[in-house]
Amino acid sequence: MGAFAAVLRKDLRLEIRSGRSTIALFALSLLIMVVLVFALNPQPIDRARDAAAALWVALVFAGMLGATRSMIAENENGCMSALTLSPIDPAALYGAKLAAAFAFMAIVEIAAVGLITLFFNLDFGADLARLAPSLMFGTLGFAALATLLAAISSRTRAGDLLLPILAIPLFIPAIIAGVKASEAALSGFPLAAASQWLGILAAFDVLFITLGALLFEHVIRED
Amino acid sequence: MARPAVETRALVKTFGVVPVLRDINLQISEGRCALLTGGNGSGKSTLLRIIAGLSQPTSGDAIVFGASSRNLGVVRRRIGMLTHQSWLYPNLTARENLTFYAELYGMPHGDGLAEKWIAAVGLAAANDRVREFSRGMEQRLSIARAMMMAPDLLLLDEPFAALDPDAVAMVADLIRSAIARGCTALLTAHSQLDLGIEIDRYQIVNGRVVPFRDETRAPQRSRIGA
Q: How far apart are CA B159 and CA B176, in angstroms?
A: 13
- CA distance, residue B150 to nearest chain A CA (Å): 13
A10/B100 CB distance under 8 A: yes
Return per-residue pLDDT of chain B as tens, 226 residues: 678 999 999 999 999 889 999 999 999 999 999 999 999 999 999 999 999 999 999 999 999 999 999 988 899 999 999 999 999 999 999 999 999 999 999 998 889 999 999 999 999 888 999 999 999 999 999 999 999 999 999 999 999 998 999 999 999 999 999 999 999 999 999 988 888 889 999 999 999 999 987 654 444 566 666 5
Q: What number is the average pLDDT over the span A181-185?
A: 90
ipTM of the complex as predicted: 0.89
The whole-model pTM stands at: 0.88
Angle between helices A159-186 and A47-75 (to 10 degrees): 150
Of B76, B81, B106, the CB nearest to A2: B106
Tally of domains within chain A: 1
The Cα A19–Cα A183 span in angstroms is 31
Residue B218: the pLDDT is: 47
Nearest chain B CA: its distance from A89 CA (Å): 9
What pLDDT shows up at residue B108? 86
Give the residue numbers spanning the domain of A167.
Answer: 2-220
**pLDDT higher at B223 or A80:** A80
Q: Nearest-5° angle of CA B213, CA B214, CA B216?
A: 65
A139-165 confidence digits (pLDDT tens): 999 999 999 999 888 777 776 778 888
Query: Alpha-carbon torsion B90, A61, A129, A23, what sign?
Result: positive
Q: Give the tens place of pLDDT for each residue, A102-113.
A: 988 888 888 888
Task: Look over chain A and give the mean of its residue pLDDT values, rounded to a whole number.
Answer: 87
- Contact state of A222 with B96 under an 8 Å Cβ cutoff: no
- pLDDT at residue A28, as a whole number: 83
Instruction: Give every CB contact of residue B33 below 8 A, 6+ residues apart in sequence.
Output: B175, B179, B184, B185, B187, B195, B197, B198, B199, B200
With a cut of 90, say whether residue A190 has pLDDT above it: no
**CB atoms < 10 A from the CB of B24, how many?**
23
d(Cα A19, Cα A12) in Å, to the nearest integer? 10
Query: Cα separation of A44 and A26, whole Å?
Result: 26
Taking an 8 Å cut-off on Cβ atoms, the answer to whether B104 and A76 are in contact is no
Which residues in A lie closer than 8 A to residue B21 (C-beta atoms)? none
SS (H, E, C) chain A: CHHHHHHHHHHHHHHHHHCHHHHHHHHHHHHHHHHHHHHHCCCHHHHHHHHHHHHHHHHHHHHHHHHHHHHHHHHCCCHHHHHHHCCCCHHHHHHHHHHHHHHHHHHHHHHHHHHHHHHCCCCCCHHHHHHHHHHHHHHHHHHHHHHHHHHHHCCCCCHHHHHHHHHHHHHHHHHHHHHHHHHHHHCCCCHHHHHHHHHHHHHHHHHHHHHHHHHHHHHHCCC
CB contacts of A220 in chain B (<8 Å) are none
